[in-house]
Chains A and B, each alone.
Chain A
Amino acid sequence: MTNKRSTTSTRGTRQRHALAQPDACEVLQQLREQDFNSQSELARQCGIPAARLAAALSLLAKKGLVERPGGHGSFRIKASYGHVLGVDIGGSNMRIALADMKGTVLSKWSTSTKRTSSPGMVVEQIRTGVTKLLEQASVPRRSLLAVAAGAPGITDADSGVVVATSYLRGWRNVPFRSLLESALHIPAAVENDVRLAAIGEHSAGAARGVRNFVFLAIGTGIAAGIFANGKLVHGADSTAGEVGYMHVPGTPEEVAKRGAPGSLESTIGGEGVRQQWLRVCREARVPPGRDLNATEIFEHARAGEVHAMTVLDQSARVLAYAVYNISLVLNSALFVLGGGVGMSAPLRDATQCFLDQYNEPVPPKLIVSSLGPDAQLIGAIRLALHTAEARLGLKLQ
């Protein structure tokens, strides 16, 4: 018969460490922002009692993830404990970043995806890129802990399957996470590009620490990455956030179907804004001049050009309408605007003006993304770090 006391104490230690796991993740999150001088300060930041913090720190120190140089003084993450990879796959190019445990990017690599199409080819490119990155940064392969990749399309994060993509041609139900894990021999995570950008904004952008916000990407298409109660919203079939298809009021200048409702995307997506501009010019019998894109049209509006101002006004009204309705459903305090059209400051300003006029006690706040096109890559790195942490915790049990 086994010694009862020793069995109990082993189970007790394992249990203690198991309980410390979510706290450990919170501690790492805080330490990524800054080093801490005292345990009580760290406990307060994490919002956990001192005893739980001590358990979490002991777990992390045991693993070598956290160090206290000199035995006393500030706590910090051992940045060189291991490394992670973030992959951002777009329609025309792919970027991969190698980061340390603090999330600091050590090196980047990119390649064109214009001639790639099949998942197999993309995974090959990623494999090549990773090898190059490791050489560039002189990091040994065995220190790689996890990889996270963003795909442009409907992605089931739980199963790691890319259900359908818009621009990478013909991806249908691709088990992308397994493919990555087989190619790179490390744990992988897969998410769609808009949600990755939302993760990026939440970890390092304007939505840092905000539990309820929407990242609204307005470019060729329009989609949202939604955070509710501090977590990403996926929905039952991973299609939450497809707000580009929402019906919105029509624009009066639409000659063919005067004022008929259109979808958000067809009205203020990149092409929609261009079409508005061409219509306004046509109505005013003014030549549209050279082919302007949405950002340029809005800049002209800011400079006082009358027809561009009409387009900006219409677009801002429609965007305010959509944002207002989405905020009533979600009660998100903050909307971060990204994408080629969304990053326009004049659009943000005009839309906020209309929002402030709605009869709302606290109108939602609009901010242009400060991370811009890097949001996805930063989100990928953050997701890779979470994936690495989860696996480290599991190994202990």
Chain B
Amino acid sequence: MTNVVAHLALAGLVEEVGEGDSTGGRPPDILRFKAERGCVAGVEISPDFLHFLLADLDGRELERASMALDRRSSTPAAVCTRIGTQVRELLGKHKQPEEHLLGLVVGVPAIVNVDEGVVLALSALKDWNHVSLGSMLATEFKCNTVVENDTNLAARGESYRGAARGEKDFVFIIIGEGVGAGIFVAGSLHRGSQWSAGEIGYLRVPNISREHPTVHQYGKLEKLLGAPGILKSWRANQGSRTRPKASRATEVFDLAAAGNAQAKRLLKQRATILSDIIVDLALILNPSLILLGGEVGNHPLLLEEVQKLLLGSEFAVVRVGLGALGSAAVLWGAICTALEPAIQGLLQSPNPAG
């Protein structure tokens, strides 16, 4: 065997499964990548849920799980314990010993100092201010653990096996309760000098009445585009008793699809703001692709409106599409993040305990 293959075999990553056809000399060995040699886990912390994904070294899904969180009792310690319990349960289900867990990556809806594993501020949950989640996870698990912002992971997920495969410069805009963006520049995630690149929820945009906006009539993007803001607008204008009720922002868009005039107007206003943001992102970063995701961003009618508006713009139109992984993007980004160092780790300290 060549040096490289010998090394891989020592690390337990490949095994011979037979011989191929000879093309003149000695028949070649057929090698198989032993994806079951280990596994990696991705976790997504959202204000109301914990989501889990266990995968083998090929990135193939082994198991998934979700559990509800109570915002008021979800302290960092409590969440860490629940993560520990659930991950071990998933490992057990697949008869994988804990030594086979080679990496754990956790996505949180907050700005994260990835180098130190510190969650800077998570306003939606109790006591989540400047939390050293990385060190807490390190006491819970022996393997390499990483904490990262969830939107960044979602962008990585789409790059790994979603709609952004092969795109070196793209932006994934996620519009749900809040608004954020994961940014890829020259093939790598861009985090910025203080880990907060892509905080587009704070962008100053003209308030709904765009007729004569001056600096004083600009507000935060999140207030207008996020799900709560859309619902608030819809309910605020509930003059007529015949106006249909909506309990979710997406229902307002559904009403627009069904032909409701006020819903259509609201959709058009929000789509206009979103397309202006997309134009600005295109001017600054010149991405080849913009993806939309999240509860609000995923709605096909919003994409359709945005595409129509962009066609009318004076600039070369950047391609806009929907994320392909839906709500699993964060988890797949976590798996992708865990895989490379996991395999590297095996290669660096090979242990024939495969």
Contact = CB atoms under 8 A, between A and B. Distances in A.
Nearest to A317: B215
Given A246-B280, A325-B280, A240 B286 contact: yes
Size bracket, chain A contacts: 35 or more
B204 interface: yes
Contacts of B73: none
Contacts of B186: 231, 233-234
Contacts of B191: 229, 331
A224 B197 CA distance: 17
A253 B192 CA distance: 37
Given A259-B214, A331-B196, A236 B169 contact: yes
Contacts of B279: 247
Interface string B142-164: 00000000000000000000000
B286 A237 contact: yes
Contact of B218 (A238, A249, A329): A249
Interface string B298-311: 00000000000000
Interface residues of B, number: 41
Given A240-B286, A259-B214, A325 B203 contact: yes
Contact of B204 (A212, A238, A321, A333): A321
Contacts of B213: 249-250, 259, 261
A397 B203 CA distance: 49
A242 B279 CA distance: 11
B344 interface: no
A226 B193 contact: no
Interface secondary structure of A, over-half rule: loop
Contact of B192 (A250, A317, A321, A332): A332
A329 B287 contact: no
Nearest to B287: A236
A65 interface: no
A245 B217 CA distance: 21
Given A233-B186, A325-B203, A212 B212 contact: no
B193 A211 contact: yes
A326 B206 CA distance: 16
B287 A242 contact: no
A330 B199 contact: no
Nearest to B183: A329
Contact of B215 (A228, A240, A321, A333): A321
B193 A333 contact: yes
A170 B88 CA distance: 66
B67 interface: no
A241 interface: yes
Contact of A243 (B169, B200, B283, B316): B283
B284 interface: yes
A331 B281 CA distance: 13
B77 interface: no
Nearest to B195: A331
B283 A229 contact: no
Given A236-B169, A247-B276, A329 B198 contact: yes
Contacts of A246: 280, 283-284
A259 B315 contact: no
A157 to B, nearest CB: 12
A326 B284 CA distance: 7
B305 to A, nearest CB: 18
Given A233-B285, A261-B206, A328-B202, A333 B214 contact: no
A234 to B, nearest CB: 7
B285 A240 contact: yes
A73 interface: no
Contact of A331 (B169, B199, B204): B199
Interface string A252-278: 100000111100000000000000000
A362 to B, nearest CB: 6
B154 to A, nearest CB: 17
Interface string A183-225: 0000000000000000000000000001110000000000010
A176 interface: no
Contact of B197 (A239, A247, A318, A330): A330
B223 interface: no
A328 B203 contact: yes
A241 B284 contact: yes
Interface in B150-196: 168-169, 181, 183, 185-186, 188, 190-196
Contact of B214 (A211, A250, A324, A331): A250
Contacts of B287: 235-236
Contact of A235 (B169, B192, B199): B169
Contact of B285 (A251, A252, A321, A329): A329
Interface of A: 210-212, 224, 226, 228-229, 231, 233-243, 245-247, 249-252, 258-261, 317-318, 321, 324-326, 328-333, 362
15 contacts: A212-B192, A228-B192, A234-B186, A236-B288, A241-B284, A242-B283, A247-B279, A261-B210, A321-B204, A325-B204, A329-B280, A329-B284, A330-B284, A331-B193, A333-B193
Interface of B: 168-169, 181, 183, 185-186, 188, 190-200, 202-204, 206, 210, 212-215, 217-218, 276, 279-281, 283-288, 315-316
A-B pairs with lowest CB-CB distance, top 5: A331-B192, A235-B286, A236-B288, A259-B212, A331-B197
Given A224-B284, A229-B191, A236-B288, 12 more contacts: A228-B192, A229-B190, A234-B286, A236-B169, A242-B283, A251-B214, A259-B212, A261-B206, A329-B197, A329-B200, A329-B285, A331-B195
